[in-house]
Amino acid sequence: MKGHSLKVLVAAVALGGSSAAFAAGPYIGLNYTQFQLESDDTDNKLKPEGITLRGGIEFNEFIGLEARGAMGVRSDERNSIKYDLDHLYGGYLKVSLPLAEHVRPYVIGGYTEARGKVTLDTSIGSASRETDTVSDESYGAGIDFQLTDTFGMNVEYMRYLDKSDYELNGISVGFRSAF
């Protein structure tokens, strides 16, 4: 009986230690994001760049909520079409699967609103179409890597907008800090 209790205690400590690297609680992060705007109107894939601020709370090692705000830092222009991302923000549910002590893949889904500007330069002048507010359901997947008890990094793909005539996707890499 005493040997059995010792085994249970050792197992509990081992299991508790393996998930301690991803402790539940609040976090904040910053990502570099390369967005990609694909439109049915053109074969061009415009790739503006942005910075995304993320903040969230993980209730346990499986479920969390996250809010994001992004702003464009560099526009992209191809074949006389230019796209500037003004800003983007949203809220998301994050579902993780702890595979290893310091590696946790996840899927994420929620709702995003974005604002950007498309400009077309022609030989007779310039025409721009500004989108006031575009919103849509969003989803993606990524991997969190925990480097220390409070500091980690992640890699992620996200489909922010999926409209009938265009899509806005993002590939990002960044850091996060738990507190």
CATH number for the domain formed by residue range(s) 2-178: 2.40.160.20
- pLDDT at 3 (0 to 100): 53
The model's pLDDT over 24-53, given as tens digits with 9 standing for 90+, comes to 899 999 999 999 988 776 677 889 999 999
Of 105, 117, 122, the C-alpha closest to 156 is 105
Encode the chain in three state secondary structure.
CHHHHHHHHHHHHHHHHHHHHHCCEEEEEEEEEEEEEEECCCCCEECCEEEEEEEEEECCCCEEEEEEEEEEEECEEECCEEEEEEEEEEEEEEEECCCCCCEEEEEEEEEEEEEEEEEEEECCEEEEEEEEEEEEEEEEEEEEEECCCCEEEEEEEEEEEECCCEEEEEEEEEEEEEC
The model's pLDDT over 129-175, given as tens digits with 9 standing for 90+, comes to 656 678 999 999 999 999 998 999 999 999 999 988 889 999 999 99
- pLDDT at 9 (0 to 100): 41
Distance between start and end Cα atoms, the chain: 40
Q: Is the pLDDT of residue 5 over 70?
A: no
- pLDDT at 128 (0 to 100): 61
Ordered by start, the domain boundaries in the chain are 2-178
> pTM of the prediction?
0.79
Mean per-residue pLDDT, 117-127: 72
The model's pLDDT over 53-104, given as tens digits with 9 standing for 90+, comes to 999 999 999 999 999 999 999 988 877 778 888 999 999 999 999 888 899 9
Q: Is pLDDT larger for residue 133 or for residue 108?
A: 108
| Distance, CA of 175 to CA of 28 (rounded, Å) | 9
144 close to 96: Cβ distance less than 8 angstroms: yes
- pLDDT at 13 (0 to 100): 38
Q: Is the pLDDT of residue 17 over 80?
A: no
Q: Which residues are within 8 A (CB) of 98 and not within 5 positions of it... i.e. 6 or more apart?
A: 18, 19, 22, 61, 62, 104
- pLDDT at 123 (0 to 100): 64
User: What count of Cα atoms within 13 Å lies in the side-chain half-sphere of residue 129?
Assistant: 4
